[in-house]
Structure 1
Amino acid sequence: MMHARFQTFDDPGHKAGAARVAALRAAMLQQGFSGFVVPRADEHQSEYVPPQAERLAWLTGFTGSAGTAVILPDRAALVVDGRYTLQAAEQVDTAVITPVPLAETSAEAWIEANLPPGGVLAYDPWLHTPDGLARLERAVQAAGGRLEPARLNLVDQIWIDRPAAPRASVVPHPEALAGESAAAKLDRVRAALAKPKADALVVSDPHNLAWAFNLRGGDVAHTPLPLGYAIIPREGRATLFLDAAKVTPEAQAALAGLAERADPAALPAALDALGAARARVRLDAATGAVALRRRIEEAGGTVEVGPDPITGMKAVKNAAEIAGTRAAHRRDGAAVTRFLAWLAREAPGGAVSEIAAVCRLEAFRAEGGDLRDVSFPTIAGSGPNGAIVHYRVTAATDRRLRPGELFLIDSGAQYRDGTTDITRTVAVGPPTPEMRDRFTRVLKGHIAVATALFPRGTTGAQIDSFARRPLWEAGLDFDHGTGHGVGSFLSVHEGPQRIAKTGTTVLQAGMILSNEPGYYRAGAYGIRIENLILVEERAIAGAERPMLGFETLTLAPLDRALIEPALLAPAEAAWLDAYHARVRETLSPDLDPETRAWLDRATRPLGA
């Protein structure tokens, strides 16, 4: 059997038995606490956290990328969003912890309803932002309790075999791929600090650190991040707080004359120095821990919590990053197309399992060259597993692809020149009329986003309903956002841009997002169609306002067997035929003859 290079299939979770929760409750009792909050977070609020920060998974068995557990003496809840409601119910011991859908009750609302009057709820100040802490405070006060910081994280105290902190190498990211020197980026950051008259920026988001200093690392899975902090003063040299053992000579040379390097243990003293200087310090609202704010303020400084200006700069890709992304998508599209052709040959015979499919796709990507990692654990769900939005196959859950079922595979790759993310849903054998109806409605929503034209100033929330209307017309919907931002050899889930009901960020030319509407029938199948799209300027004759639109970056065919042509408007069918023609023209030179012949058949016009 083939083995994946970047993905394992051991079950990382467990049914959280009473023992670990009981040990946490004993630690709570010993320190006089009535409860403890366990978010799925590290000190940087990262999506992918290093092993020693997987506290929520260790305690509860839930391995999703977002969730919050609240442990009280006689009850416990795990609050998760719509992506993880099925997964949470399967992974945790519901006799010990109750999964709670976020759509019904937030963690704060659950605390308000369940914390006993006079109860003391503890939290780790390194794992909560000021805004998050304020929400906790309001909930605890409404319950008649008290919120207190724990001196040490209570989970860490009982996690005997907790892994050590990562020490992956930090390397420079070439300027030819970055498209801008680190010196020029830092000048832009300093100019942004001058507007609100801030004296310094504390960079708490490792993605922003990596982008601003043109560095990459490997401290977390699937995202090339060096975990660390930086202080960028409005005047003077910046300081990076990185373990010296991680910084390669090449990275050190790239930083020379640009920034100082200090050990992470020196960060508290540097924060104290900012406070002592009565500095006005900008702290990122999304990733800046409460502990950072308190350290500066207790030393006499002023902290302004708000957006890190680097976040918005990073979201708008420059010409070099866009060119790299296009090259990465061509390489990735060839690999995905080879996989889809292989799947079409092998799956109907019943010999392909979910794990085998993941391994084969990863092998095709590796053969294409320059693959550094997968950009997230591949979601490969056959039949009912496809209805679990963020399903992750393990040896225990692996099932074979069966005729009459759908197979959903959501995957991506990290290349030095770009980050990819693509979802395809394929029929194994003849699909049912219902499957074709649902798939075509999802496709119609996908096309509506891909072809949208909109004026400058439009937000992702205004685009979101474009994807949902064909489903709404049949009384259907999906419980995740339509699209997330994507980085350039950085996070596959990048903010602040997104297409969702909560997407309040204005879309700008140069931003990259996903376009991924879906439909999920619990216990039966899942459907999702995902391409990445680039926001670009659009010239419209007679337009009275500057307009924007999307360029589709992802290149791979869609399963024609799942399309009901009668449901498509002529313009929608024309878009699909044009997209397939572009896929065929672009990828054919990079394919072997057998795959090229399959692609010719897979991308023929709908009427052919």
Structure 2
Amino acid sequence: MTPAERLAALRAALATAGVQGFLVPRADEHLGEYVPPSGERLAWLTGFTGSAGMAVVLPDRAALFTDGRYTTQAQQQLDPTLWELRHIVEQPAADWLKQHAAGQRIGYDPWLHPEAALKRLEPSGVTLVPLPSNPLDALWADRPAAPAAPAIPHPLQYAGLSAEEKRGAAATLLQEAGEDAAVLADSHSLAWLFNIRGGDLAHTPLALGFGLLRADGSAELFMEPGKVPPGTRTHLGNAVTVRPRAELAAALEALKGRRVRVDPEATPAWFAERLRAAGAAVTAGEDPVRLPRACKNPVEQEGARAAHRRDAVAMARFLAWFATAAPAGRETERSAAERLLAFRREVPLFRAESFPAISGAGEHGAVIHYRATEASDRPIRPEECYLIDSGGQYLNGTTDITRTLWTGPGPAPAALRERYTRVLQGHIALATLRFPKGVAGPHIDAFARRALWEVGLDYDHGTGHGVGSFLSVHEGPAAFSRAAKPVPLAPGMILSDEPGYYLPGQYGIRIENLLLVREAEQRPDQVKPFLEFETLTLAPYDRNLIKVAVLSPAERAWVDAYQARVLAEVGPACDSATAAWLRGACAPLG
């Protein structure tokens, strides 16, 4: 079917279902950012392949809502005769529905929306109707099968705490809240809580499933039996029962009269609907695993440091290669990304990229989450800006790094160098910040923007996201973003520091390191404890893009000290040619 035929077929199905509209989120039943091919309903319907968005279909119009990371991409992928494009923050779906659909019945799939998201649509004046099945699934004739990779144990030497210890700590939280059980719909929580990993997603090592954690520390894991081999069942132990997903409804019905925690932001509405129908008392509360998972234990912290040191060797090899290859003009966006992946594959404990590399030359760098395809791939030309955002999944840590590079051989334009340097100033401002306990990511996002704001510039994405431990490269609950929930930063959290600047049609600039939150040294006059960041990522900045005169003496000293650290920690692990290049790249700024 063509895009127009798909949209027409959906409208016909909605009319049969007795609703005037339908919500199509970019989500599967686990509500994660990354979904398997079988969950890409939004892409199938609209052609938009970004990782965040929602479509709303009405009888006479349809709109796609996404954020600033994807507006340029959506403009390129959507058919404007079929779809209106709206900024999900500045032009929210509730406002659009109020204008165009007030009083109408709008269907939704209760497996694909958390209750909190549905509640945010209430001011629109529509009547939201849960449908017994998703009409898109009946239309999508060649829909891929659901993934069925096995769940495998994650060794204690990398996890740091046993699954029994983790379950006990989470169960204590339920006991303190007077709750009998908690629904676990986020497969990241299952992975961390049970010390298992899997291969159901291309870049995030998850075994997709659901769980029920009980206040006595026992648990039920709902996965198809074929996904849990004998060795994994032994690893899970007698306190964990493995049941097929078909038994999930019956398990919820058995909780009649019990108090059950459901995270309204991270659990499909189907669960709360089923529990209430069964006579259970649903209590709204955060997934009890989410915050402990974000606060890495000492073993996970040391694993992250080790993973970044090894990843840094691959990055150094890539940057040294690129310094010679780029001016020759024989590489493309895809060939460069493939070369970096080849270097990473030689690193011990490497398992996969943590996301498809964003390899954007020139104007493609301005597409914030650009992905080079066979059709869009273009040469990396001399004397232009090139942005490479990439990362690795290692058994003991997850990495994410962005560097913006000048291809040479001639000098970069002064205006470009000034804007790059202002992005670098924001990057440094966040990395060097000391702040009192209780401060949250939204409170300090502006530090990374100040240098750009001073000259009337900004960027339309958050400054940083949480990162998992051999888990998702995007992890909650903390983030550096004006739109994020004010979750206090806590020791052990790992977040990205990635301000940027984008000039559509010309170039993009982004600089990203990962930061570990840690306790700051107590000073004599402090009245409360403070926190600070440890920089984990180790790779030089492109000195060809730094306008040294814009930096303050303190900023310049920080860059020199950071790059000296890169040379000291990474250089000895590199081959002689890479080490020689690194010595020049890490020399003090002139």
Could you say which residue in structure 1 is the equivalent of 2:389?
410
State the distance in 2 between where 1:510 and 1:197 align: 28
State the distance in 1 between where 2:361 and 2:104 align: 46
Could you say which residue in structure 2 is the equivalent of 1:11?
none
Q: Answer yes or no: is 1:524 the counterpart of 2:503.
A: no
Summarize the alignment of residues 335-484 of structure 1 with structure 2, pairs less than 5 Å apart.
Answer: 335-429=314-408, 430-484=411-465
Per-residue CA distance 1:170-229 (angstroms, 9 max, x = gap): 000111111101001111011100121001011111001110110101111211111111
The 1:236–1:87 alpha-carbon spacing in structure 2 relative to 1, beyond 3 Å, is closer
- Amino acid paired to 1:578: A
Q: Which moves more between the two structures, 98-107 or 215-224? A: 98-107
- Aligned pair partner of 1:135 in 88, 111, 120: 120
Contact 1:45 1:286 in 2 (8 A): no
Could you say which residue in structure 2 is the equivalent of 1:539?
521
Per-residue CA distance 1:126-147 (angstroms, 9 max, x = gap): 11111111122331x2xxx422
The unaligned stretches of length 5 or more in structure 2 are none
State the distance in 2 between where 1:286 and 1:427 align: 42
Could you say which residue in structure 2 is the equivalent of 1:3?
none
The unaligned stretches of length 5 or more in structure 1 are 1-13
Contact 2:548 2:556 in 1 (8 A): yes
The ranges of structure 1 where at least 4 consecutive aligned residues each deviate by more than 4 angstroms after the TM superposition are none
Q: Answer yes or no: is 1:33 the counterpart of 2:12.
A: no
- Amino acid paired to 1:379: I
Contact 2:171 2:217 in 1 (8 A): no
Could you say which residue in structure 2 is the equivalent of 1:5?
none
Contact 2:64 2:85 in 1 (8 A): yes
- Amino acid paired to 2:571: S
Contact 1:219 1:227 in 2 (8 A): yes
Contact 1:381 1:409 in 2 (8 A): yes
Could you say which residue in structure 1 is the equivalent of 2:544?
561
- Amino acid paired to 2:440: T
Give the length in aligned residue pairs. 586
State the distance in 1 between where 2:519 and 2:218 align: 37
State the distance in 1 between where 2:201 and 2:264 align: 22
Contact 2:117 2:265 in 1 (8 A): no
- Aligned pair partner of 1:162 in 128, 143, 148: 143
CA offset at residue 118 of structure 1?
4.1
- Amino acid paired to 2:59: P
State the distance in 2 between where 1:305 and 1:114 align: 31
- Aligned pair partner of 1:590 in 568, 573, 587: 573
Could you say which residue in structure 2 is the equivalent of 1:238?
219
Contact 1:285 1:308 in 2 (8 A): no
State the distance in 1 between where 2:565 and 2:229 align: 42
TM-score, length-normalised on structure 1?
Answer: 0.95
Summarize the alignment of residues 148-227 of structure 1 with structure 2, pairs less than 5 Å apart.
Answer: 148-227=129-208
CA offset at residue 461 of structure 1?
1.2
- Amino acid paired to 2:275: I
SS at match of 2:449: helix
Could you say which residue in structure 1 is the equivalent of 2:75?
89
- Amino acid paired to 1:164: A
Contact 1:386 1:407 in 2 (8 A): yes
State the distance in 1 between where 2:18 and 2:224 align: 36
State the distance in 2 between where 1:176 and 1:595 align: 31
Could you say which residue in structure 1 is the equivalent of 2:302?
323
CA offset at residue 540 of structure 1?
3.8
CA offset at residue 547 of structure 1?
1.0
- Amino acid paired to 1:329: H
Q: Answer yes or no: is 1:606 the counterpart of 2:585.
A: no
Q: Which moves more between the two structures, 532-541 or 568-577? A: 532-541
Could you say which residue in structure 2 is the equivalent of 1:270?
251
CA offset at residue 103 of structure 1?
3.7
SS at match of 1:309: coil
CA offset at residue 567 of structure 1?
0.4
- Amino acid paired to 2:583: D
